[in-house]
Amino acid sequence: MALIKDVIGKIVTEFGANASDTGSASVQVALLTESIKELTGHCKKHPKDVSTKRGLLKKVCQRRGFLNYLEKHDFAGYRSVIGRLGLKK
């Protein structure tokens, strides 16, 4: 389940420093969150799809790592990202 190019561009412009900033932790968290939402919907519809569940868990762990990095190095940015994405913490 790949994200559409338009969705990626919208997320990058919203969370990045500029239009080509795809590598910052806040952009990565936002992209992973969007992907996790799509995969969660797929897993609810297809509960026996184990490989998708595994991919979903990998993305959740990857997002957690980015959030830990943001919390440690840029706490204000961390609070901003979780507030705008509606994540719990």
Phi, psi of 37 (to 5 degrees): -60, -45
Q: Output the CA torsion sign for 10, 17, 61, 81.
A: negative
pLDDT at res. 4: 87
Q: Hey, what domains does the chain have and what are their CATH numbers?
A: 5-85 (1.10.287.10)
Enter the pTM of the model.
0.91
Residue 48 confidence class, pLDDT cut points 50, 70, 90: very high
Convert the pLDDT of each residue in 3-43 to its tens digit.
888 999 999 999 988 888 889 999 999 999 999 999 999 99
